[in-house]
Structure 1
Amino acid sequence: MSLYRTLRNLQKEGLKTWWRQLQYIGDAKSGTFVGADQFGNRYYENRNGEEEVPGRHRWVDYAQHEYNATQVPPEWHSWIHHIRTDPPAADPIIQNLTPPWQAPYVENLTGTRGAYKSYNTAKPKISAWEPKVASRS
């Protein structure tokens, strides 16, 4: 990131947004707002190819402070990774193919209190030894 680009993005975005971007994504970017998902994540795109490194002109601004990549729904993931050219809100294929019975997307909860914990209903092959006390007579 060059000094000129950083100062230009500071001027475009304002001090508060510029500082937040430096803290969260480590880079000061300016672009157009494309849309938001059900989690409150905001998606941006910079169509000026000269300002950004190729392939890094689409990005997400996470709503939560503690974020991870599983908080991006599949339709937005396909847009960020250039699988789809149009964002999900404007893509007619995604609008028509999403089945109404589909469960809402939930982020991966592995390592948290909400993680799935299975239980075993089969009898164990090895059982622990339990001593039997004989009464003295």
Structure 2
Amino acid sequence: MVSLYRTIRSIQRVGLREWWRQMQYIGDAKSGTFVGADQFGNRYFENRNGEEEIPGRHRWVDFAQHNYHASQVPPEWHSWISHIRQDPPTADPVVQNLTPSWQTPWVENMTGTRGAYKPYNTAKPKINAWEPKVTGRA
């Protein structure tokens, strides 16, 4: 539950329009330092003040799309947001030098959408559907 004090403080920090958008999309008012963005347009934030947020909830992502899911977060940002890495990918030299040149760009999981992979089979089916023979009546 968002307290009145926290709501007023958040409106002062991010502005009324951004506060309203956050309440509609994530159901909570958050304000923090912008850390970076990824190729999907998702924005990543961090709030270093420990007293303002629940422990473990001080890093978050602001998704670019309204219909969002976890596979829209690339692996390098996932490791930062899950506290596997201390520094974000924009400031971590290990992550920047680790990406090999042969690796394809990260794409989200398209399962359940029109872009999902659908394999096809070229083998003859073992069971064929019954097709009735139509003959004229005498």
Please give the TM-score of this superposition, normalised by the length of structure 1: 0.91
Give the drift of 1:69. Answer: 1.7
Give the drift of 1:124. Answer: 1.8
Give the drift of 1:126. Answer: 1.9
User: Residue 9 of structure 1 aligns with which residue?
Assistant: 10
Q: Does 1:79 align with 2:80?
A: yes
- Distance in 1, Cα, partners of 2:130 & 2:123: 19
User: Residue 70 of structure 1 aligns with which residue?
Assistant: 71
Q: What does the per-residue CA deviation read over 1:64-90, in whole Å, with 9 as the maximum and x for residues that have no partner?
A: 122222111111111111111110111
Partner SS, residue 87 of structure 2: coil
Aligned residues, how many?
Answer: 134
Give the drift of 1:130. Answer: 4.5
Partner SS, residue 61 of structure 2: strand
- Distance in 2, Cα, partners of 1:93 & 1:77: 15
Partner amino acid for 1:28?
A
Give the drift of 1:131. Answer: 5.5
Larger deviation, residues 31-40 vs 115-124: 115-124
Please give the TM-score of this superposition, normalised by the length of structure 2: 0.90
Unaligned ranges ≥5, structure 1: none
- Residues 1-137 of structure 1 correspond to what in structure 2 (within 5 A)? 1-130=2-131
- Distance in 2, Cα, partners of 1:126 & 1:88: 53
RMSD: 1.6
- Distance in 1, Cα, partners of 2:19 & 2:123: 56
* Aligned sequence identity (%): 80
- Distance in 2, Cα, partners of 1:129 & 1:43: 57
Give the drift of 1:6. Answer: 1.4
- Distance in 2, Cα, partners of 1:62 & 1:128: 47
Partner amino acid for 2:47?
N
- Distance in 2, Cα, partners of 1:17 & 1:129: 61
Give the drift of 1:123. Answer: 2.3
